[in-house]
């Protein structure tokens, strides 16, 4: 029991580390915005911004799981702020993503947040083309872009629409229309 507690303690949130990470993330994001403005939306600046948005989403993910800061309230505030930078509603995340961890691996529960719909045995017994398709779609180079396309742009536009519109609008207001269009 003591060994487990020591192991878990190494992975607990640390406010000092969290603030340093958040400052670095903000610096990178502002650098990406500056690069977009300075280059007029050059493809390298857009890719730099895309990588920074992934980093912002990782911070959002950890904050939404209440694991970025030591205090749950601080995590909620951060997730509510970051939702406008990652184009995903914190309330939607809290309602759909967090609960799926409660029953992940329970084959009797089916919900839309699951990314695995069958057991290893069921997959092994499936026809070869289905097994190949499963392997192909589970490759990270395909899975994450396709999952992101579905989750952030196709799924539930009436819910995600306002946060999708907020970031380009803010960019247009502060950095001009060319940068806002590059972001879209």
For the chain, the domains span: 16-97+158-183
* pLDDT at residue 91, as a whole number: 87
Distance CA(141)–CA(71), nearest Å, equals 34
* pLDDT at residue 41, as a whole number: 80
How many degrees, rounded to 5, is the angle at CA 119 between CA 117 and CA 120?
130
Query: How many other CB atoms sit within 10 Å of the CB of residue 59?
Result: 20
* pLDDT at residue 178, as a whole number: 64
- Tokens representing 66 are 């209440």
Q: Which of 122, 135, 144 is nearest to 58 (CA)?
A: 144
* pLDDT at residue 89, as a whole number: 83
* pLDDT at residue 87, as a whole number: 79
Tokens 């600046």 locate to 45
* pLDDT at residue 128, as a whole number: 92
* pLDDT at residue 107, as a whole number: 67
Distance CA(106)–CA(156), nearest Å, equals 26
| 75, 64 Cβ separation under 8 angstroms | yes
* pLDDT at residue 29, as a whole number: 94
Distance CA(37)–CA(171), nearest Å, equals 10
pLDDT in tens, 46-76: 899 989 988 999 999 999 999 899 999 999 9
* pLDDT at residue 119, as a whole number: 75
Distance CA(72)–CA(91), nearest Å, equals 15
Distance CA(84)–CA(164), nearest Å, equals 7
Residue numbers in the chain where pLDDT is lower than 70: 98, 103-107, 109-117, 152, 159-161, 163-164, 167, 176-184
* pLDDT at residue 139, as a whole number: 82
| 163, 83 Cβ separation under 8 angstroms | yes
* pLDDT at residue 183, as a whole number: 55
> Alpha carbon of 61 to those of 67, 69, 89, 172: distances in Å?
9, 12, 11, 26
In eight-state DSSP terms, residue 108 is T
Residue 155 φ/ψ, nearest 5 degrees: -70, 130
């Amino acid at each position: 029991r003591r060994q487990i507690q020591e192991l878990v303690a190494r992975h607990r949130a640390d406010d000092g580390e969290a603030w340093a990470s958040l400052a670095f993330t903000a610096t990178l994001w502002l650098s990406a915005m500056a690069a977009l403005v300075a280059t007029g939306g050059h493809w390298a600046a857009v890719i730099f911004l895309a990588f920074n948005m992934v980093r912002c989403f990782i911070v959002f993910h950890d904050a939404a799981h209440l694991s970025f800061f030591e205090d749950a309230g601080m995590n909620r505030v951060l997730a509510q702020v970051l939702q406008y930078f990652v184009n995903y509603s914190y309330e939607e995340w809290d309602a759909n993503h967090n609960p799926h961890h409660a029953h992940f691996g329970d084959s009797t529960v089916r919900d839309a947040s699951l990314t695995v719909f069958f057991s290893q045995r069921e997959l092994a017994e499936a026809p070869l083309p289905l097994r190949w398709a499963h392997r192909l779609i589970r490759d990270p180079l395909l899975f994450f872009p396709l999952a992101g396309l579905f989750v952030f742009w196709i799924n539930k536009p009436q819910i995600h629409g306002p946060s999708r519109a907020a970031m380009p609008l803010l960019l247009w207001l502060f950095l001009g229309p060319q940068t806002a269009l590059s972001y879209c």
